[in-house]
Structure formats: structure tokens, C-alpha cells
Structure 1
Amino acid sequence: MSRIENNLIDRSSKYFSKYKKSNGDLSKEELNLIITVEPIQLIRKMAKASKNNSDYGEIKSGDIPQFSKLKHCGFDLVHRLAKLDFCYGFTYDEIGEIYLDDDHKQLAYKKYGENHAKTAEMFGLIFIDRGTRPHKSYLTNLGKLISENEYSIIDLVLTNTIITSSFFRYILVKAYFEDVSVSKEIDFLALETIKRRLPNIFGVLKFIEDNSNGIEFIIDSINK
């Protein structure tokens, strides 16, 4: 990897961190970096850093996604929130009501909204204000970026931000060097919880694979 490429990826990673925060708009140059860096470049950079430190990091239960539909915590959610007025903030119940029919109990709306809001937060698309009762969700600048741009760049941006989230960074970087059993990596969860989470995890990995070039060898190293 050339020095220029290294510098490009370093800057792109920094801008992802900046853009996942609730404030601080990106310049046109920074935006161009985010949408031009390939996912495999980010993974290689993170893998190199982890190898140098002999540390893949760690997984916490809160880092593992739980959702019913990926798009309901991705591009579809941010587009809907932007149209409804993202400055207002949305409760878990309100997010659930966006997607579920009218014949559900209130707890179902809250749980659906909570799962998808928390996953969107993992990906850096929204931030949840836990200082309010009930908690409210707002679009981050990255969420605004996705809501304001064409679908042609959304998948790449979303792929890169998922790759840099704690759980998938851990799995992908470790799989860069060795075979990974996801079930073993999350065996601190109850067995039934693992069974529920695995389809989510592999659904996201499929999304990453579909929107990336040259990472097949990494995905092939990841098993249930």
C-alpha cells in the first residue's frame, strides 16, 4: 500500500469518526474521500493496525445488531426521518409506528423502534439522546449525508460506516488473518439470543460483500 493511499485511508477513517457525531459538517473534500475509499482499503488499514498491536479489540453485547429489516435501520430509516423533520427527534415508539401496522400493541412499536434505532446508532446514522424521557433519536451528520444524496453513493457510504462499527470491525479484521466462528465470538450470550442474532449478523455481512470488491476471502473465513 502506497504512502499516498495510506494517508487517504487515514483521513477517511478520521472523517467517518467526525461525521458520526451530531455536529461538524464535512467539507466537499472530506465527503469525496468518504465516498471514494473502497471497503477493502479500510479493512486492510484496520487489520494492519490490529496486527501491529496484536489486538483485535473486544465484543460487547451492546455492539451486536438486532433488527428485523436492515433497511429499517439504514437508508430507509434516515430518509423517512429526514422527511418527517429530523430536528424534532423521534421516540422508539414513533420509529416503530413508521414501520408496523396499526394493529400492534404499544410495546411492540417501542421494541421495534428501539432495536432499529440502536442498530442505526451502531452504524453512526443516528444518535440517541438518553438524557430525555422517553429517549429521542436524531440524525447524525452521516445520517443527513445519506438522506440527502443519491442511492448510487449510499450503499458505499453505508458499507464503510458499518465496517468501522465496533462489532463488524472486530469480525472482519480477525477474519482477515484467520477463520472466525461468529457463534464462538458471541458465546457470552444465551443460546437462544445467539440464534436470533446470527441471521442479522450474516445479513449485514452479505450486504457488505455485495457492495465491496476484493473481500471474498475475508467473508469466506467467517462461519456460523
Structure 2
Amino acid sequence: MLKFSETELISTANVPQFSSIDSALRVPEVLCALDEAQTFDQLGVYLDYDSSKKVTANKKYGENHAKLATLLDLADIVSGAPLHVCATPFSERFRALSLDEQRSMTARLAFRIPIIQRILIDAAHGSVDASEYLKPFSESTKKRRLPNLRTLFVLIEQHACEDDERLLNALSNVRL
């Protein structure tokens, strides 16, 4: 079992914000198909093209989904000006999975996200309110991030099996 000191500090950088989990799952597909790193705005266009969208909207969309993909080890964000998103060694393998397999794998990869770890560790010992873990954040940030946590916890629960008794018990103790 992880000890608190072994988990990463929860910050806005590692609490996901996204519009669509499916868009984040498409990040490896886009990166591998193009075979080159993409800026956030380029990635945003590939993930959700709409000719009426402003460049800043594409950039934010690409950034949010790239960051979730990075938290799941499906992509890397590399430094430079501007930042670029590139495939990881795992990206190609993930891309080869069926959509159902990708979603199941994503449910397991979500355990890599520090706030998911912390909430589940604490929920193993009793009831927890996920919003309490967002207390240091501004109200607007909490409002945007809490539904994303809900989405990830639902995904985890959907892909848990009966043998995952401890996980299912912890999930039942999470209040979203």
C-alpha cells in the first residue's frame, strides 16, 4: 500500500481537465499517424476541428487533452518554444487496441494520476469527498475539474471486476 509520502503532491498540473475522454484517447492515434510532435493548437485542430473555432480554443483543447494523455503515459509534452506533444513508446501499442480495450486500459492507467491515487487510498479507510482534495484550488478550477474526476471514477468503476473487491469498496466510499 502506498504511503502518503510516496504519492505525488496534488496540484493543478496533475488534476486533469478535459472535454472528452475519447479525445484524450485519440491523442496517441493522431501523434502516431502524423509521426511527428504537435503543438497544442495543432493537436487541438486534429482532435476537434471546427472552422469557426478560434486558435486559442484549439490550443486549449489540444493542451487539456495532451495533459490528460501525458498523465496516462499515452503522450509526452516536450519543452521548447512552443511546447510540443509527442508519442511515447506505449502510444503505438495503445493505438493498436480496440476502443473497448483502450477504455479498459485507461481505467487502469488512471491509477497513475496523483489525485486518483490519494482519493482511493483514503477511501479504502472510509468515506471521502473528492471536492475536499480540490480545496486549495479556486472555485472556478474546482468547478471545471470535479466533473473530470467523476468521469474518471465512473470509468474505473465500469472496468472493475468482481475480483476487485477492495477497489469496489473504496469506490463506494468516494463522494463526488
Q: Which category of TM-score, normalised to the shorter sequence, fits these structures?
A: 0.7 to 0.9
Of structures 1 and 2, the larger Rg is shown by 1
Give secondary structure in 1 for the equivalent of 2:85. strand
| Partner SS, residue 119 of structure 2 | helix
If the length of structure 1 is used for normalisation, what is the TM-score? 0.70
Greater displacement, 91-100 / 149-158: 149-158
TM-score by length of 2: 0.88
Cα distance in 2 between the residues matched to 1:155 and 1:203: 12
Dislocated runs of 4+, deviation >6 Å? none
Q: Which residue of 1 aligns with 2:56?
A: 107
Structure number with greater CO (CA < 8 Å, separation at least 6) is 1
Residue identity matched to 2:43: I
Q: CA deviation digits over 1:5-42, x for unaligned, max 9?
A: xxxxxxxxxxxxxxxxxxxxxxxxxxxxxxxxxxxxxx
Alignment root-mean-square deviation, CA: 1.7
Secondary structure of 2:86's counterpart equals strand
* Pick aligned residue for 1:63 from 8, 11, 14: 14
Q: In the TM superposition, what are the counterparts of 1:1-224 in structure 2 within 5 Å? A: 48-50=1-3, 55=5, 57=7, 58-74=9-25, 76-85=26-35, 88-98=36-46, 99-130=48-79, 132-213=80-161, 214=164, 215-224=167-176
Q: Which moved more, 1:141-150 or 1:184-193?
A: 141-150
Quickly say closer, same or farther: Cα 1:152–1:197, change in 2 above 3 A: closer
Is the 8 Å Cα contact of residues 56 and 170 (structure 1) preserved in structure 2?
Answer: no
Count matched residues: 170
Q: Which runs of 5+ in 1 are unaligned?
A: 1-47
- Sequence identity, in percent? 25
Which runs of no fewer than 5 residues in structure 2 stay unpaired?
none
